[in-house]
Amino acid sequence: MLRTKWGLQLKNMWKFPGGLSEPGEDIGDTAVREVFEETGVKSEFRSLLSIRQQHGSPGAFGKSDMYLICRLQPCSFTINFCQQECLKCEWMDLEKLARIENTTPITRRVARLLLYGHREGFDKIDLSMEEFPAVYTGLFYKLYHRELPESYRDTARTD
């Protein structure tokens, strides 16, 4: 088993489902599609949780790599995983995922982030999405940010 200089195994590690976006595909749509393709679980996008940026990764086709982790709401719970992409797939307790050794640092950290959100409220960790009209007629963009308090949503003054 090959290990990195940090002692990480490069195979047979627990991780969240993921993959590349299709051209023109939104973040949430990519996450929902990838989870379904890898696990057979249907889900709905809830929020963006974290962004990892990395440069010089051998698997990034010579580009800088951004890995976005989303919080999804399952609509089904039966797992029918893709055996070409996964050796094993199962629902796992977040506390266990936050502690186990055979996972990546990002998976452990996001499990801890989700535990915090579950206990203290997802409003403390979520980057929600709002859609706005772009400066170009007929186009829109999606802005991901922490939720604004009601008193700040529709006002120009904050004093």
Q: Does 37 participate in catalysis according to the annotation?
A: yes
**Torsions phi, psi of 145, nearest 5?**
-160, 165
Which of 22, 25, 37, 95 is an active site residue? 37
Task: Return d(Cα 135, Cα 71) in angstroms, integer.
Answer: 29
Asked if 96 and 10 count as a contact pair (C-beta separation under 8 A), the reply is no
Query: Over the range 121-147, which residues count as b (16 or more CB within 10 Å of their CB) and which as e?
Result: ebeebbbebeeeeeeeeeeeeeebeee
- Catalytic positions, written as ranges: 37
